Amino acid sequence: MSSLCPLEYRYGSAEMRRLFTREEMLRRMILVEAALMKGLEKAGLAPRDCWRSIMICGRSIRPEDIDRAEEKTGHDVGALTMLLAERCGKCGGYVHLGATSNDIIDTAWSLVLRDALRIIEEKLVDLMRTLIGMSEKYMDLIMVGRTHGQHALPITLGFKLAVYVYEYARSLERLMSLEDRLIRGKISGAVGTMAAWGNKGFEVEAEAMRMLGLKPHAISTQIAPRDSFAELVAAAAILASQLERMAIEVRELSRPEIGELSEKPRGTMGSSTMPHKSNPVLSERVTSLARLIRSFLTASLENIALWHERDLSNSANERIIIPHTLVVLDEMLESSRRILGGLRVYPEAMQRNLNLTKGLILSEALMIKLVGKGVPRHQAYKHIQAIAGKASERKIDFLEACLNDPLISSMLTRSEIEGILRPENYLGMYEKLAKRAISYANLTLKQYEGEHSLDS
Amino acid sequence: MSSLCPLEYRYGSAEMRRLFTREEMLRRMILVEAALMKGLEKAGLAPRDCWRSIMICGRSIRPEDIDRAEEKTGHDVGALTMLLAERCGKCGGYVHLGATSNDIIDTAWSLVLRDALRIIEEKLVDLMRTLIGMSEKYMDLIMVGRTHGQHALPITLGFKLAVYVYEYARSLERLMSLEDRLIRGKISGAVGTMAAWGNKGFEVEAEAMRMLGLKPHAISTQIAPRDSFAELVAAAAILASQLERMAIEVRELSRPEIGELSEKPRGTMGSSTMPHKSNPVLSERVTSLARLIRSFLTASLENIALWHERDLSNSANERIIIPHTLVVLDEMLESSRRILGGLRVYPEAMQRNLNLTKGLILSEALMIKLVGKGVPRHQAYKHIQAIAGKASERKIDFLEACLNDPLISSMLTRSEIEGILRPENYLGMYEKLAKRAISYANLTLKQYEGEHSLDS
Amino acid sequence: MSSLCPLEYRYGSAEMRRLFTREEMLRRMILVEAALMKGLEKAGLAPRDCWRSIMICGRSIRPEDIDRAEEKTGHDVGALTMLLAERCGKCGGYVHLGATSNDIIDTAWSLVLRDALRIIEEKLVDLMRTLIGMSEKYMDLIMVGRTHGQHALPITLGFKLAVYVYEYARSLERLMSLEDRLIRGKISGAVGTMAAWGNKGFEVEAEAMRMLGLKPHAISTQIAPRDSFAELVAAAAILASQLERMAIEVRELSRPEIGELSEKPRGTMGSSTMPHKSNPVLSERVTSLARLIRSFLTASLENIALWHERDLSNSANERIIIPHTLVVLDEMLESSRRILGGLRVYPEAMQRNLNLTKGLILSEALMIKLVGKGVPRHQAYKHIQAIAGKASERKIDFLEACLNDPLISSMLTRSEIEGILRPENYLGMYEKLAKRAISYANLTLKQYEGEHSLDS
Amino acid sequence: MSSLCPLEYRYGSAEMRRLFTREEMLRRMILVEAALMKGLEKAGLAPRDCWRSIMICGRSIRPEDIDRAEEKTGHDVGALTMLLAERCGKCGGYVHLGATSNDIIDTAWSLVLRDALRIIEEKLVDLMRTLIGMSEKYMDLIMVGRTHGQHALPITLGFKLAVYVYEYARSLERLMSLEDRLIRGKISGAVGTMAAWGNKGFEVEAEAMRMLGLKPHAISTQIAPRDSFAELVAAAAILASQLERMAIEVRELSRPEIGELSEKPRGTMGSSTMPHKSNPVLSERVTSLARLIRSFLTASLENIALWHERDLSNSANERIIIPHTLVVLDEMLESSRRILGGLRVYPEAMQRNLNLTKGLILSEALMIKLVGKGVPRHQAYKHIQAIAGKASERKIDFLEACLNDPLISSMLTRSEIEGILRPENYLGMYEKLAKRAISYANLTLKQYEGEHSLDS
């Protein structure tokens, strides 16, 4: 039967999708069984070097074997332990001893998610670096700033991009911060008391954690606490929404009436029927997938309030939510990288749009100048609003309207007014602010590198 | 690469999963292209019988072919039309003429969803019939009714089940009601005006609809309106939540302390480490999956407010949400069927629990009797609350406490009190109400059958 | 203490907000207690005409009285029944006899929601009528149709508005359809069996329903089933998202670069610092509030799966969700009405934008013509894509590029090409489609009127 | 008109509700205007000590004044600045100079949210301390651990409570972590460039921040980035879900069949019709309100992807979401405190339930012992599962079944078996784990105190 889920063939990078295949998940579960065995050995509860046997005999087990065995056991971890027991000779008798399924599952999730988070973080870091470079490149490229979809004041493209840099840095912080809560091992048995290992529980746990390179949860029930899974999906949903924000920028600024940006033409059909179209399809994809990740958060939060020492109601949906969230976020980062990589910038369109309101966007600048000359702000505001209204009605330049105004022309010379109405004179601290944002991000990047420098 | 989405191998019936495979979706898209061709022929815009050619030459196209062609076209429907054009000889020149991708996609969705809805409805109908039978079978099996998790008044199991019957009937109504809005064809071109077909648009549409057995949308943009997709997911989420409600009932009533129900033991492991356990895993699965369907609604609603004559931001997530919602709901109905099919009922536990509060659950009955004897309700309430409190404290039977109470014993004889405190005497209209609910459901079922009698 | 919830002073019409005040809710609860009493009388369980006493003595009870009494009873309906019992003399002794709190609350919700739904529906009907009128007025005003934010093909403003008419008609259908499931009385006692009224339950219910003008639920637990509350919020969320869709249209088309529409200037500040701005604030408000209603759906769905014969976990959030959903939706309809009422249309901007791509948007028309002349569609598509590309690169008119093309100019005369590239010649069935949509909506409106003609 | 939102009179502590009243919000907005003025002064853009004038003349402004002024300005911040300008004499002329509304609103949100977060954190700290005390008190009180609602292995109440301690500590970490991203000032003008203050922008900002005790955002648009608002609601939703988890524990364990816990009886009606009931209403309220906070997250995430330098679509819903989230979370913490404060623990019921399965819950202990004696785990598992099945069927003690089993009795003496089957012998590392969890939490508490020690 051909596949029904588009994640199988359409979205996400190969490296990320591979991580969440049944095969890879199985590899990690076997690794956790081996680490548990190593812990048992250390505590004197299993024969020496059985953990190596597990590693070796585990290699032959495939997802299909699990499916067949699950028909007998009704339980996938049960199936795995049965197969290991059957295939690992004498050591088989000690497999999974005193453990519960979620010791294996949740610790395997931590291993997979550690890798998945790294992929996400690396791509986010990469995106931030690209944006920092672009921000510096376009630092002085003036364009109109828009609020409510209306023209507000001039900014520069570099300034705009620096805002994204700051926003993404905050997401990187969140991802780094949640790691300590999420990526932890859980080897504590059926209700979390480690009962089966008597007073040797901490030894079993410590050795298993050492082998896997994980910290343990301080305490747990049958499962690891689900708050950090929700925290992961929340951080993913926030990042996804930030990526959507940039994607919407591209979609809007590539409208033909605006024309300031466009996704790289890819020599492909824009439409199956309209030969002339060049649609911002990657940015639209990012928008679409953001909705999906936001959605998963709902279920993820509902999974927190499990009954007592756990009920199973997190299980079935997590099998879907966790891979889908990570693969979809990965796709979004990939698409965002491609968007930025191919982005075309049209300075002449920016210039044209900047002048579209015939100088009106500089009205605040003039108001400020009047206040500097002693006109109360509120009066200045009203006075200029009136001039702006007239200029707009008569479709004349704001400059002309100002020159015709007795009050303005009594206080300022033509060349003063001209200077005030030049966009490049009303950019404030744009460069210093952009640099402050980039410094902030660089600090975060440095911290990220510091934490992961010894990894590879 | 082995699969990463559990819908590929773990959840949903084969028939439902098959519906949403790429292969099946492709078949339907080709069918829609053929129907469009038939419309074009009828309107004199394409040569006679080209629609048959499309049907025949379309057979050779596989999802892999689409993938390869999409590399050139950057667009999956574009890929399909290119392949049809190449493979269908002279008729190829008329393929997709004047249509837009979503004429094909949205009409194909309608075809798939018509089948998917039928599967869902049939399983829901089946579940309702099972419940009606069980409700009748257990009509007089008395058990305690619970509110706030506390014992309230006696009910019967048949009465409880009749409530589900009513609730599910309402969901069947919703599904039937949305069909007229959702299952409609969309053959109207790039912005919905049918421009390419001049004044022949209605002819093209009418013939295509006739061939597919669909009504058309009264008007559309580039795509069919998305409100009905959200309505579908909303109806699915409501039904899923109702199924969860019944699943929670099973989970709660199969607690060892309660023991009134249990999922059929399946001779399988309950736990990979606790050999004695028999867990309500199907009911827990239903609970888990309900969360997933609820989640999808969020994205589905966000897909409604598309820009202008459409933007693409519904596309990527719908590829996931639509199949996942239907397959997961199908799994929930299958699991619910299995739960009811194997359900074990323990009348002795019901009896034991009914007596657990030593008669207190009948205190309302006594209060009502006092009011009948002229004691104002509020006074009666307080008086009996006090007796109930004392009985509870001293752990004596409520009957005994009543007999010791001067007021009560002055108004009622022992045998009268005994009669009042018998659960079977305080079931009110349970049977008539259950029958009224079943009649309501039967009417809905009849209407359903009426609408679908000519289908097969 | 001044208020903290903006619904108290900022959003929603007075009539809708009034409906959900504590005062009004209390009035309806007392009405339900009276109706219950009338039922008890009819069944011989209470003295004649006590229901009138309840109506009269209930008038003196104020929300503050409930607050004080609730300190004793810990329960607001308990407080009400205590006050009625105290203040209604002899009849007080029969107040609430055999009923449970949610008999009163849920039936009162039905009364409030019946009125609230009517307000919503009337405003929706009004909006549809306005849109129908506008659609007819602007039927022939040509503008560009946009997909992916890019120019696609010409449409007319009337056609665009007719799409909204169709979409809203579907929402009106949904609202009408859910009413039969939602607006029902629930008078059935603590676990839904009507136990307290012996074999007179149906009589009590029937008389109470008659007085209130309600149908009863066929069966219930301690409460009315919550699926229809979720259905209400879902229908509200869908309608809210449709309103958002129109609001986004206004926001986008009033960008200065596009300028085709604007919200009526209201002589107010657009910005506290930029005197020239005129922001589409009503449309932005509609967008914002749509998110809020979508949000409430999540909780509303979680309220369905209550334990057994009910648990209280729906209660606290429903006190917030129900009023907030209706008041916010009411605000959205009011704001939408004001948007349409003040909407300014700029035909010259539409004309300008229509020509922005220098004829490229008619490339499909030309392609179709070539196919009509025997060029296979796919070849025609590629050929025209190439011409379009060249025209775009060289910034020349598409007409000119076509005339320069040997193939085109060999097949078509200049005046034929000119005719093909005239937007007014490529509008297809726009008018008939718009009329079909309006007919569809008129049918829905007629059905609505039919159902509610006897109401006032 | 009496109120319609229950937050006005029903939920939340007085201190929290006060924070979000219009009055308090207004006070903070005036404070921000004063701080801005102080910044202007420092930069030489306004006369000395005008900030004091603002503080003084601002005192007379009330929410009602804003309402009246807003009718003219159509804008609430515009109304405020107009009133300040009118009432503050000469200094009025410099009010709001170069600022945009959201400089005031977002910085005021930071001030309010700083206080609100403190209230939440203090109550969470308090709850954690209470739980730590209770965990220590009940460290050795044995009860059954439950998974899937079924009996699993013995734990202790102290151990169970320590799990909550750990979970809440993680929430406290999250709250502390987000503060640095959320509680920041935003004084940067209409598009974030500080254009109006020329090259003095950083001076204005620095002085204003100093006065308010805030760090600034590194960069901003017209508004502060919305990711941290979503992060706040996400952290609130996670904490709410954790509180729900504990509330469900109380609700479940106070079922009459279980009876291990109960909310303190409060001498109030449990039901308006069933005098005997004592319902866990506070825990049900916590459950209900958790759903509400989870809901708000949806809108909060949608608010991130604002257009360009901002659009207004976050505004209307944030006015509702922000106060409602905090007040509802405050209510949940208050209710949780009351639940724990009044919680009754019934050791005898715990003992009774522990023995309910007649020793079966210790079957794992026996299995482990067999493995220790050389039986392969998988064989031991199957063997014991069979014995457990028999014991369960025949309703005999597991001990007896074991003694009757040839294999078991050949390997272990009666007294050995008795020892193995004693719950107190199979608690593993429960105490050390609970202490590890408490240590973890204490570290977090210490860090919290460290960060806030200088605050008061």
Residues A404-446 have pLDDT tens digits of 999 999 999 999 999 999 999 999 999 999 999 999 999 999 9
Interface test with A, best of D143, D191, D223 (most A CBs within 10 A): D191
pLDDT value at position D266? 40
Amino acid at A29: M
List the Cα angle C349/C350/C356 in 5-degree steps.
85
Per domain, the residue ranges of chain C are 14-46+97-263+277-351+435-452, 360-420
- In chain C, the residue whose alpha carbon lies closest to the alpha carbon of A361 is C276
Amino acid at A83: L
- In chain A, the residue whose alpha carbon lies closest to the alpha carbon of C301 is A298
Q: How confident is the model at residue C359 (pLDDT cuts 50, 70, 90)?
A: very high
Q: How confident is the model at residue C200 (pLDDT cuts 50, 70, 90)?
A: very high
Does residue A268 register a pLDDT over 80? no
**CA distance, residue A255 to nearest chain B CA (Å):** 12
Query: What is the SS3 assignment for D184?
Result: strand
Are D21 and C7 an interchain contact pair (Cβ–Cβ within 8 Å)? no
Q: Which residues pair with C344 in a beta bridge?
A: C262
Are B275 and D149 an interchain contact pair (Cβ–Cβ within 8 Å)? no
Which among A356, A363, A398 has CB closest to C274? A363
Which among D94, D173, D227 has CB closest to A371? D94
- In chain D, the residue whose alpha carbon lies closest to the alpha carbon of B383 is D275
Q: What is the pLDDT of residues A173-220, one digit of tens each?
A: 999 999 999 999 999 999 999 999 999 999 999 999 999 999 999 999
ipTM for the predicted complex: 0.95
pLDDT value at position C273? 61
In total, the C-beta contacts within 8 angstroms joining chain B to chain C are 349
Which residues of B fall within a CB distance of 8 Å from A255? none
Does residue B285 register a pLDDT over 90? yes
CATH superfamily assigned to domain C14-46+97-263+277-351+435-452? Fumarase/aspartase (Central domain) (1.20.200.10)
Q: How far is A125 from A12, CA to CA, in rounded Å?
A: 18
- In chain D, the residue whose alpha carbon lies closest to the alpha carbon of A314 is D148
Which among C96, C306, C427 has CB closest to B245? C306
Domain B100-144+152-265+275-351 class in CATH: mainly alpha
Q: Of B161, B163, B166, which Cα lies nearest the Cα of B340? A: B161
Burial (Cβ within 10 Å: 0-12, 13-18, ≥19) of residue A413: exposed
Q: How confident is the model at residue D392 (pLDDT cuts 50, 70, 90)?
A: confident
Which residues of B fall within a CB distance of 8 Å from D352? none
Dihedral angle over CA of C213, C219, C223, C228, nearest 10 = -70
pTM of the model: 0.97
Q: How far is D361 from D353, CA to CA, in rounded Å?
A: 11
Q: Of D353, D359, D378, which Cα lies nearest the Cα of B273? A: D378
Which among D272, D288, D291 has CB closest to C77? D272
Does residue B243 register a pLDDT over 50? yes
Alpha helices, DSSP H, located in A74-137 = 76-87, 101-137
Which two structure tokens, joined as six digits, stand for A328? 């979809």
**What is the pLDDT averaged over residues D359-371?**
92
Are A271 and C152 an interchain contact pair (Cβ–Cβ within 8 Å)? yes
pLDDT value at position C89? 93
Pairing of strands C215-216, C344-345: unpaired
**CA distance, residue B165 to nearest chain C CA (Å):** 10
Query: What is the SS3 assignment for D147?
Result: strand
Residues of C with CB under 8 A from a CB of A: 147-153, 251-252, 254-258, 269-271, 273-281, 284, 298, 302, 353, 356-357, 360-361, 363-364, 367, 381-382, 384-385, 388, 392, 398
Does the domain at residues A360-420 carry the CATH identifier 1.10.40.30?
A: yes
pLDDT value at position D454? 56
Q: How confident is the model at residue C132 (pLDDT cuts 50, 70, 90)?
A: very high
Q: Which residues neighbour D291 within 8 Å (Cβ) at sequence distance 6 or greater?
A: C298, C299, C302, C303, C313, C317
- In chain A, the residue whose alpha carbon lies closest to the alpha carbon of C149 is A255
Which among B170, B309, B368 has CB closest to C152? B309
Does residue D267 register a pLDDT over 70? no
What is the architecture, at CATH level 2, of domain D100-196+223-265+276-351?
Answer: Up-down Bundle (1.20)
- In chain A, the residue whose alpha carbon lies closest to the alpha carbon of B284 is A313
- Write down the catalytic residue from A271, A288, A313, A439: A271
Which among C274, C295, C327 has CB closest to D298? C295
Does residue C56 register a pLDDT over 90? yes
pLDDT value at position D275? 62
**CA distance, residue A422 to nearest chain D CA (Å):** 12
Q: Indicate the range of B49-63, C376-390, D143-157 predicted with least confidence.
A: C376-390
Q: How far is A60 from B75, CA to CA, in rounded Å?
A: 41
Q: How confident is the model at residue C377 (pLDDT cuts 50, 70, 90)?
A: confident
- Give the DSSP letter of residue C258: T
A271 in catalytic set? yes
CB contact at 8 A, D69 and D81: no
pLDDT value at position C452? 84
Does residue B127 register a pLDDT over 80? yes
Residues of B with CB under 8 A from a CB of D: 147-153, 251-252, 254-258, 269-271, 273-281, 284, 298, 302, 353, 356-357, 360-361, 363-364, 367, 381-382, 384-385, 388, 392, 398
- In chain A, the residue whose alpha carbon lies closest to the alpha carbon of D375 is A93
Pairing of strands A142-147, A150-156: antiparallel
Does residue A276 register a pLDDT over 80? no
In total, the C-beta contacts within 8 angstroms joining chain A to chain D are 351
**What is the pLDDT averaged over residues D248-260?**
97
**What is the pLDDT averaged over residues D136-162?**
97
> Torsions phi, psi of C231, nearest 5?
-60, -40
> How many Cα atoms occupy the beta-carbon half-sphere of D431 within 13 Å?
12
Which among D241, D304, D309 has CB closest to A241? D304
**What is the pLDDT averaged over residues B433-446?**
98
Are B152 and D277 an interchain contact pair (Cβ–Cβ within 8 Å)? yes
Domain A14-46+97-351+435-452 class in CATH: mainly alpha
Q: What is the pLDDT of residues D211-225, one digit of tens each?
A: 999 999 999 999 999
Are A219 and D368 an interchain contact pair (Cβ–Cβ within 8 Å)? no
Q: Which residues pair with A142 in a beta bridge?
A: A156
Q: Read out DSSP for C285-316?
A: HHHHHHHHHHHHHHHHHHTTS--TT--GGGHH
Amino acid at B105: I
Place of tokens 């449709």: C242
Does residue D201 register a pLDDT over 90? yes
**CA distance, residue D371 to nearest chain B CA (Å):** 12
Which residues of C fall within a CB distance of 8 Å from A388? 275-276
For residue D295, the surrounding DSSP H or E stretch is helix D281-302
Are D429 and A201 an interchain contact pair (Cβ–Cβ within 8 Å)? yes
pLDDT value at position C268? 45
**CA distance, residue A85 to nearest chain C CA (Å):** 41
Are C190 and D75 an interchain contact pair (Cβ–Cβ within 8 Å)? no
Residues belonging to chain A: 456
Which residues of D fall within a CB distance of 8 Å from B354? none
**CA distance, residue B60 to nearest chain C CA (Å):** 19
- Give the DSSP letter of residue C184: E
- In chain D, the residue whose alpha carbon lies closest to the alpha carbon of C18 is D1
In total, the C-beta contacts within 8 angstroms joining chain A to chain C are 127
**CA distance, residue C16 to nearest chain B CA (Å):** 25
pLDDT value at position C267? 45
pLDDT value at position D269? 47
- In chain C, the residue whose alpha carbon lies closest to the alpha carbon of A248 is C149
Active site (catalytic) residues of B: 148, 271
Are B151 and D392 an interchain contact pair (Cβ–Cβ within 8 Å)? no
Q: Which chains touch C (3 or more CB pairs under 8 A)?
A: A, B, D
Which among C273, C275, C384 has CB closest to A275? C384
Are B371 and C439 an interchain contact pair (Cβ–Cβ within 8 Å)? no
Query: What is the SS3 assignment for A155?
Result: strand
Are A275 and C381 an interchain contact pair (Cβ–Cβ within 8 Å)? yes
CB contact at 8 A, D376 and D414: no
CB contact at 8 A, C247 and C332: no
| C-beta neighbour count of C446 within 10 angstroms | 10
pLDDT value at position D453? 73
In total, the C-beta contacts within 8 angstroms joining chain C to chain D are 222
pLDDT value at position C269? 47
**CA distance, residue A2 to nearest chain D CA (Å):** 34
Q: How confident is the model at residue B377 (pLDDT cuts 50, 70, 90)?
A: confident
Which among B148, B357, B385 has CB closest to D275? B385
Q: What is the pLDDT of residues A22-55, one digit of tens each?
A: 999 999 999 999 999 999 999 999 999 999 999 9
**Percent of chain D at pLDDT exceeding 70:** 96
Which residues of C fall within a CB distance of 8 Å from B199? 428-429
- More confident position, D453 or D281: D281
Q: What is the pLDDT of residues A130-161, one digit of tens each?
A: 999 999 999 999 999 999 999 999 999 999 99
